[in-house]
Structure 1
Amino acid sequence: MTERSHEELASVLCDLFGLEAAGADVTPVGRGAMGQVWRLTVSGASYAVKEHLWGVDERAVARGAAFQRAADAVGVRSPRNVPTPGGGLVGHLPEALGGSGVRLYEWQEGPAARPDAAETPQRLGKLMARLHGLALEAKDPPEPWYETVDEVDWEYLAGAPAARQPWQEQLVEALPGLRSLAALVTPSKPDDRILCHLDVQCSNVVDTDRGWVLLDWDDTGAGCADREMAMALLRWFASDGVDGDAIGRTMTAYREAGGTAVLDPERSFAMHAASCLNFVAAQARLALDDAHAEHHADAEERLTNVLTALPDLATYREVARFSTSCGGGNGGAAT
């Protein structure tokens, strides 16, 4: 990444979004596979800045913002998008500062939602039901990332046995599981598709003093309610063993709030499987790409994490089974 001072970055961000630059400060908050998040403080107000490291699709941004507005109307809270003076939602840093596309949002104060909190199943079920209840038409086809897996030369990515890095050793051990997941990947049926958030995970939900706030609408696109629900249940309640009680209570809340998706172990997990496979392949290629040496360490860490927690077919079946056993307590009030 281009070397730059925080003071310089803060000044440019203020200029891009029409804010007063005097006394502005920016601090790094976190880094994901697709971007860097910063906290910009200006005149006592705080904003979240997302810097898109691999480019930004402004048409997708507009689609996500429209879905955000529709979801807000049915009670799904999200951070306000801060526009540029020209009314756009994306600014572009000068090449001297990296040239990335950047977006600005109201800062949301609070911790990430916790899967083990008593009220989480009810809150998550209600959130998913509200999103799916919109049933907005998906005018564009699904992103291939969620539907297909390109031919991957896993042996090449694993490297020669004598020169393997630790993540490559993990990859070799995971190959049978990766191939099993690939067998589950099938395209969705056009008639089943609606507009979906596609990234409802703990790190994208802030537990504020006014309730949950859903972040990161950038992946909004065509999907199926059952596939999105399967992915959410896996991310929230199956990262360290399957929490069947939480899954059952989430689905109870989902049904009570009008959600209709039903998980089928043979098809509902296709999107999760495709996402896992494409993520592993993309990060492995990045870790071996000398043109992006500055991203190697991050890619290797992400590979270690995902390969350590790679799901298997038994986990998918278990999640599907618990999703039909809607029961348990009410898990606390949802907001």
Structure 2
Amino acid sequence: MSAGSDATRGVEVLQVGREPVDHVVAGKRDQADLVTTGTADELVRETAEDVRKPYSRRRTTGLASNAFDRRGSAAMSQEDATGEILRAQLGKVYNDNERKLDSRAVPINTLGGAGKTIVANALHALGLNYVDAFTEALQDDGAVLPLAKHTDYRQRLNSYLEQNSAGVSRVDLDSICFFKTYSTLAELAELPVFGIWILVRDPRDLLYSDYRYVKDVWHEEVASAHSFADWLRIPHLGGLCPIDLWTYHFEGWPEIGGSVARCVVTRFEDLKSDPVGTMSRALSTFEIPVEGSAVRQAMDLSSFEAMRAHEDQVLARQGRSGEPGRMVRRGKVGEWKTWMTPELHAVFAEPSLWDAAEPYGYFLNED
């Protein structure tokens, strides 16, 4: 996958799934234009004013045409254009990290709300290598530098790594390393990686969870001003509406997954119903021997109850207990059954979404 193109310069990270784009303190954004990755000579510049624009008004126009000019193609598919826009929005740190994906890497293909926090916390608890390609910068010597702008996010969600939220951890470059990514299955299948791990969730629950997050925690102006049904129709990351983004991100299984030597599909629903067994099977596929008791302890530390209690404790220490929103919200399976209406059912009645979801066991047209 090509990264670090001209399109990525000057357009930094906007909003990806559940991560805030800058440090949030007592519901207010840090106005700083620059944040450091931890080294004196490496700065990650935020186009702060642009970041605060609604998705539909952000500076993504022209990126696809720039990619067209670079490639010299007679025509550019919508999928390629969307990929160029996404790479530009994800920013320099993300693209630099992705270039380090090699034969010892296992990229985790996911979107916010699909169980990444559970898996990441468990991997850390097991002492395995894990890099969040969006909130951390992996160095050539294995050092992992957390981005200062994501301190709040890391403290509230990564309970096992709170002590490292402002420091430096390290990965063993000679061992398997898991990377959280936002690349599509088709893109990841082209990389020389050890395997691919897909974390997926019923699109109805995932998108509602994301809506509540950007509305209640991030206070995103578009979500705050619109109903869930309207929000689902508004262009978001990559210029896609949320339903199309889910489809774009997860479509292609099992055709693409079948071409990868080691590919694991982990559903959020299975992480909730059988956390130990689900995690153990995934690690076994990636040839990582771990004792069952260790997996059980790691999953206990990463349960919804443990993670929610940790977030509440962090906010209490910061004098923020009164804030209404939580990053660890409910973690409920099948919550869509409590809010589904005829109007929303019509919004989700998208054949391409049905086709993409069915191989994962989500039969949206039958519910």
Pair in the same fold by TM > 0.5: no
Q: Normalising to structure 2: TM-score of the pair?
A: 0.28
